[in-house]
Amino acid sequence: MANTLLIYGSLTGNTEGVAYSVQTILREKGKEIDVKNAIDADLTDLTGNYSNFIFACSTWDDGLPQSDFNDFIERIISAKPSLAGKKIAILGLGDSNYVHFCGATTVIEKAFITDLSGNKIIETLHIDGYPEMEENKNHIKTWTEKLADLIN
């Protein structure tokens, strides 16, 4: 059974694609990982057997998480579970032409690290522009390979 769960919010499919790229890289490193759309995720995912979480989300409007992921955050925050002892990594997709570039990652960090006491284990990955760009593919690969060494 996997001990890592990646939960993503994606409107255009870019974040979903990155989520599955991260899964592929981690599996190549021998890690078991499940991937779930935020619309299908719930409290039991966070309070169950998973010890590692990766939250992936794009930023919309004025620095907000994608709507399904935002709804997920609201559902979880209202239940107030403790994530103490859980390892957390965050990645965001955005466009640096906007004032709140990857602002969703700030909202996610506040919710799951500050408010629910999760343990952030790696710097947040910010992807600027399209994930298919070679530079972004390299950033995703490098970040995920570092992450593989930090999760059990």
Listed by start position, the domains of the chain span 4-148
Confidence of residue 1 (pLDDT cuts 50, 70, 90): low
DSSP annotation string for the chain: --SEEEEEE-SSSHHHHHHHHHHHHHHHTT--EEEEEGGG--HHHHHSS--EEEEEEEEETTTEEPHHHHHHHHHHHHH----TT-EEEEEEEE-TTSTTTTHHHHHHHIIIIIIT--EE-SPPEEEES-TTSHHHHHHHHHHHHHHHTT--
Confidence of residue 2 (pLDDT cuts 50, 70, 90): confident
**Rounded distance, CA 44 to CA 76, Å?**
10
Domain 4-148 has CATH 3.60.10.10: no
| pTM greater than 0.95 | yes
| Lowest-confidence segment of 4-8, 19-23, 93-97 by average pLDDT | 93-97
pLDDT at residue 104, rounded to an integer: 96
